[in-house]
A and B are shown apart, each in its own frame.
Chain A
């Protein structure tokens, strides 16, 4: 027999604000979608899909702190589902996304950032996806494991191999400022 709990706990439910959630998460969600699809247009569609699902189901989502992982999970499942359906078709090549970068961005900075994105995009999917979640959303290995539904050990191994591969690629890239440093190796 336990002591009763307060009503205030109940009153904190139904507080998920769609607009606030969209403003806070759309950029990183798009960045993740871009790493999945390697195509800006598909990434935009995936991001919109995730937010559309959120708009429809927002009344059922009662815990605000779980909305972000719900969005990522929804987006990832949609990506997997779409890929399953289009598996017979050749994969779409990554398109340049520089047209979206602000005009006043310094050329060198843009190149650095763009190079990092392109190098990550060039990794194999099984390394690229956990790495994207690690970098973009700063997710822990446990969160990545849960979201991608793969064992923790596999996440660890993929993060390690993915990073090593990414560092190697970046160190080989001219004009990349990180290339001049002694990058970590295995």
Chain B
């Protein structure tokens, strides 16, 4: 039995979280009653402290840290180069070139149908009085080109915050768990709106729009939580009085279930 206690106490680290570990409780209690065990334990504690101090004396080669820091800096530089290659500005330039080629190739069709349609839709969105109506129409009628792509909400939030766009402080937990597609920031009635797109469980998209309204919210706060269908799309939202932010969820299709997101508990 004593050997069992000794074996347990050999793994015990004094003055650490081990003192609350139930595994050691009985052995530690036994120390109170067994003088020989206590003596053994105290000697072991002293020995361990000495051994530990001896092992922690620095005999790492002097050049080791220098070498590690040097190649660390090199790898960082290399990573930066790779990242730079994929920076948004360059991607935008490549996308613009592809778009130009496309425009020249399908000039008539695009000008007549897409671009005019896009500007027409934007103009209609501007005219909408309520945030919910405008954002629902924006999703229903426009082809949204995202500014930044990432699968984690945190990355998109950081990106939007860095560009000075409004970001949510809290969202329903089950929405936060959905993978994201990307984000965008744009203007509506001279106010910056940010958009984060989540992949819904139905394989569609849940759009989360955030706005810091310059005046009073355009919709009664107590009605924002209600699910409504505008432009044949589901929408519901909430308003955060502390941060003065209006949030609106809009599904990409009628069958996207927004009921599962409890906006009243935020």
Contact residues of A with B, CB < 8 Å?
1-7, 9-11, 13, 18-19, 22-23, 26-28, 30-31, 34, 40, 44, 47-48, 51-52, 54-56, 59, 97, 100-102, 105, 112-113, 115-117, 120, 132, 134-136, 138, 140-141, 155-157, 159-160, 163, 166-167, 170, 178, 181-186
Contact of A184 with B157 at beta-carbon distance under 8 Å, contacts A27-B58, A31-B60, A140-B18 already known:
no
Which single member of B10, B13, B62, B173 contacts A140 (CB below 8 Å)?
Answer: B13
Residues of A within 8 A of B262 (CB): 1
Shortest distance between the CB of B205 and any CB in chain A (Å): 20
Contact of A135 with B176 in the complex, beta carbons under 8 Å: no
Residues of A within 8 A of B157 (CB): 7, 10-11
Contact of A4 with B266 at beta-carbon distance under 8 Å, contacts A155-B11, A181-B43 already known:
yes
Residues of A within 8 A of B60 (CB): 26-27, 30-31, 44, 47, 100
Contact of A120 with B154 in the complex, beta carbons under 8 Å: no
A-B contact pairs, 5 of them (CB 8 A): A1-B261, A4-B176, A7-B157, A19-B69, A51-B71
Max chain B C-beta neighbours (<10 A), residue from A9, A48, A113, A138: A113
Shortest distance between the CB of B163 and any CB in chain A (Å): 15
Which single member of B3, B57, B170 contacts A101 (CB below 8 Å)?
Answer: B57
Stretch of B47-55, B90-98, B125-133, B217-225 at the chain-chain interface = B47-55
Which single member of A5, A22, A113 contacts B57 (CB below 8 Å)?
Answer: A113
Contact of A184 with B55 in the complex, beta carbons under 8 Å: no
Contact of B65 with A22 in the complex, beta carbons under 8 Å: yes
Residues of B within 8 A of A11 (CB): 154, 157-158
Residues of B within 8 A of A44 (CB): 60-61, 64
Q: Is B40 positioned at the interface, with any CB of A under 8 Å from its CB?
A: yes
Max chain A C-beta neighbours (<10 A), residue from B16, B60, B62, B266: B60
* Extra A-B contacts (10), CB below 8 Å, given A7-B168, A47-B60: A1-B260, A2-B172, A3-B266, A11-B157, A19-B72, A55-B72, A120-B51, A156-B11, A166-B51, A184-B44
Shortest distance between the CB of B5 and any CB in chain A (Å): 10
Shortest distance between the CB of A168 and any CB in chain B (Å): 11
User: Nearest residue in B to A41 (C-beta to C-beta)?
Assistant: B61
Contact of A59 with B79 in the complex, beta carbons under 8 Å: yes
Q: Is B109 positioned at the interface, with any CB of A under 8 Å from its CB?
A: no
Which single member of A47, A138, A159 contacts B64 (CB below 8 Å)?
Answer: A47
Max chain A C-beta neighbours (<10 A), residue from B6, B8, B57: B57
Contact string against A for B residues 194-206, beta-carbon threshold 8 Å, 1 for contact and 0 otherwise? 0000000000000
Contact of A55 with B10 in the complex, beta carbons under 8 Å: no
Contact of A116 with B54 at beta-carbon distance under 8 Å, contacts A22-B65, A55-B76, A184-B44 already known:
yes
